[in-house]
Structure 1
Amino acid sequence: MQLGPSRLLPPPLLLLLLLAAALGLLPCGAALEPISVGIAIGAASALTGYLSSPRFYCAFVECCPGEQDRPNGTALQLNLDKKLFGQHLAKEVVLKAVTGFINNPSPKKPLALSLHGWAGTGKNFVSQIIAENMHRAGLKSKYVHLFLSTLHFPHDHQVNLYKDQLQKWIRGNVSACAKSVFIFDEMDKLHPGLIDAIKPFLDYYEQIDGISYRRAIFIFLSNAGGDLITKVALDFWRNGRGREEMQLKDLEPVLSVGVFNNKNSGLWHSSLIDRNLIDYFVPFLPLEYKHVKMCIRAEIVSRGNPVDETVVQKVADEMTFFPKDERIYSDKGCKTVQTKLDFF
């Protein structure tokens, strides 16, 4: 197709015509009549607009969710029901806290959850489920940030440096996506005072240096308080009261005071507790024999195998339980289920 000097088209118009011809919207060799040119330009413009739209772009590249993108509360509940066993309190608190937060059109502060309990009780599962509910890629999302105390903050003589780095990381990531999720694992191994560096971001400020942190979620995972939770659970059992009778009010006050006064909690004398900036202290109860068997069945199913109750029984019997006389609770929760199942 050749155009004489008198019929030269502006570069943007020419690009649209070429795009239209390439997509078959303009027949090859067709005369450039005003009507056909107009139709082709209109179609090509619409297509160009669609191809450059955020919806099309975000179908292939991860984007930060907008205000109209609300996580599915039903999906969150189904995931908790499917993956979390023996934790009626944690399930209830997390479901209400997260769905209430994401459906609030104008939260006054970020959501801060502190998850406490022995290893293998489901804290990591819950943080993973929350991350997946907020961002499709879950822990692999560029908007979900996992900090491990022993990896990211190993040296106690560099606490001031870590504080500065932590503030820069949070500021930069929330600038990129208001709905960022920050997970701090191994809080019980965190140097005292370090976590106070994030206090400004958890407070009731509308903005800090032009950035709002009110849509972010902060999750703290800790083994600290596991002994306090177990004591309450044992008292219920020894008094003949059912596990499901335990309520958040039976444990949350004990937890908040316990970790505040515990030098190995990561929240020792923390301003996050002193200023009531942690929204929920979520207790994870020690798991009983029946809950361990539920974990084993779920692991077998996740591997695509039919559940063999003989194998379930053998793996469960390999686990160790405490107290020594009563043998009620698994001392490792479900943490070693995968490796023991490999053996069988």
Structure 2
Amino acid sequence: MLLRARPFGVPAALCLLLPQVVVGFEPVSVYLAVGAASALTGLLLNKDLYCRFTECCLEERPLNATALRLDLEEKLFGQHLATEVILKALTGFKNNKNPKKPLTLSLHGWAGTGKNYISQIVAENLHPKGLKSNFVHLFVPTLHFPHEHQIKQYQDQLQKWIRGNVSACASSVFIFDEMDKLYPGVIDAIKPFLDYYELVDGVSYRKAIFIFLSNAGGDLITKATLDAWRAGKKREDIQLKDLEAVLSLGVFNNKHSGLWRSGLIDRNLIDYFIPFLPLEYRHVKMCVRAEMRSRGTPIDEAMVTQVADEMTFFPKDEKIYSDKGCKTVQARLDFY
């Protein structure tokens, strides 16, 4: 019968990582096994070296604010409010060694204005692997919470998932997409995690980040932006205070929002309501150029104009804003 032997000086746990060793096997093989185990032990003890080979949760990883600013300025178009607020919010939060609560952002605006894109940029600046990181978690209601009669089950699952992942990495990021398609009540399950508690069942959630993405409130944002344009006000002069209050109230009272009458709003647990303005013709052209650059394609201004001209704009008379933002730019370029 073959017996598995543990070479002298090798921890028992590491034997699971070693090949089968037969008692009485030649000394050279044993020495090789011991050497491999010793090397692995040293790797595990040297955290910096170990983290070169696998993803580690480095809670004290500083945020490179300069890199984040460049990413936002170069990749996000027409969203001066979102760029400014997210840069300041993330920088302030990450520089705070002892935050009193998790950072909670709620992004609102019509499809194609950059909400998903900015959440991807944020994820990549917090964890190098971005959305592929083990510490970044994306929830899509139509996929993860599809049935209204299972709300209680979803609440329990959501609490367990967040508790487990924050226990593993305090600086975890949780992104909830399509909040306007989430059944009301589901998101209230995480209210204790977003509150000003030092610990919840022995776990601190204060270094985690929660991001909600929603189309809810897009009509309010568009109306305010259009009114400003008609009044002769520059787009870049619109300030957060002009939109944040009406946006939070509108989302709270919107039955088609996952935050409808939510305790998260009632308890003021959402730190920032961030509006994404509708995109103009010039912004669509910026999106086309950016997509060409990402493909390594030379910028062809004639094609840029052709793609932008095929988009539809509103209102009917003025035709100022793209009704799909930059959502279909990639597909239109594929066509050409």
TM, length-normalised to structure 1:
0.86
Say if 2:160 is the partner of 1:175: no
The Cα of 1:343 is off from its aligned counterpart by: 1.4
The Cα of 1:107 is off from its aligned counterpart by: 0.3
Say if 2:325 is the partner of 1:338: no
Cα separation, 1, equivalents of 2:46 and 2:277: 47
The Cα of 1:66 is off from its aligned counterpart by: 3.0
- The 3-state SS of whatever aligns with 1:107 is coil
Q: Deviations over 1:37-62 (max 9, x none)?
A: xxxxxxxx999646631111110100
Where does residue 57 of structure 1 map in the other structure?
Answer: 50
Cα separation, 1, equivalents of 2:236 and 2:206: 33
RMSD: 1.7
- The 3-state SS of whatever aligns with 1:206 is coil
Contact 2:59 2:169 in 1 (8 A): no
Q: Give the total of aligned pairs.
A: 304
Q: Deviations over 1:125-171 (max 9, x none)?
A: 11101111111100000110000010000000000000000000000
Say if 2:83 is the partner of 1:79: no
Partner letter of residue 187 of structure 2?
I
Where does residue 32 of structure 2 map in the other structure?
Answer: none
Go from structure 1 to structure 2 and tell me whether the alpha carbon gap of 1:159 and 1:47 turns closer, same or farther (over 3 Å shift): closer
Where does residue 94 of structure 1 map in the other structure?
Answer: 86
Where does residue 34 of structure 1 map in the other structure?
Answer: none
- The 3-state SS of whatever aligns with 1:178 is coil
- The 3-state SS of whatever aligns with 1:166 is helix
Where does residue 193 of structure 1 map in the other structure?
Answer: 185
Say if 2:272 is the partner of 1:292: no
Q: Unmatched 5+ residue regions in structure 1?
A: 1-9, 14-44
Go from structure 1 to structure 2 and tell me whether the alpha carbon gap of 1:47 and 1:229 turns closer, same or farther (over 3 Å shift): closer
Partner letter of residue 294 of structure 1?
M
State the structure with more CA Rg.
Answer: 1
Aligned-pair identity (%): 74
Partner letter of residue 122 of structure 1?
G
Go from structure 1 to structure 2 and tell me whether the alpha carbon gap of 1:301 and 1:165 turns closer, same or farther (over 3 Å shift): same
- The 3-state SS of whatever aligns with 2:206 is coil
Cα separation, 2, equivalents of 1:194 and 1:306: 47
Cα separation, 2, equivalents of 1:205 and 1:298: 43
**Structure 2 counterparts to residues 192-231 of structure 1, below 5 A:** 192-231=184-223
Where does residue 312 of structure 2 map in the other structure?
Answer: 320
Partner letter of residue 298 of structure 1?
A
Partner letter of residue 53 of structure 1?
N
Cα separation, 2, equivalents of 1:264 and 1:202: 22
Q: Deviations over 1:55-101 (max 9, x none)?
A: 1111010011132x212111111110111000000000000001110
- The 3-state SS of whatever aligns with 1:64 is coil
Go from structure 1 to structure 2 and tell me whether the alpha carbon gap of 1:219 and 1:51 turns closer, same or farther (over 3 Å shift): closer
Q: Unmatched 5+ residue regions in structure 2?
A: 1-6, 11-37
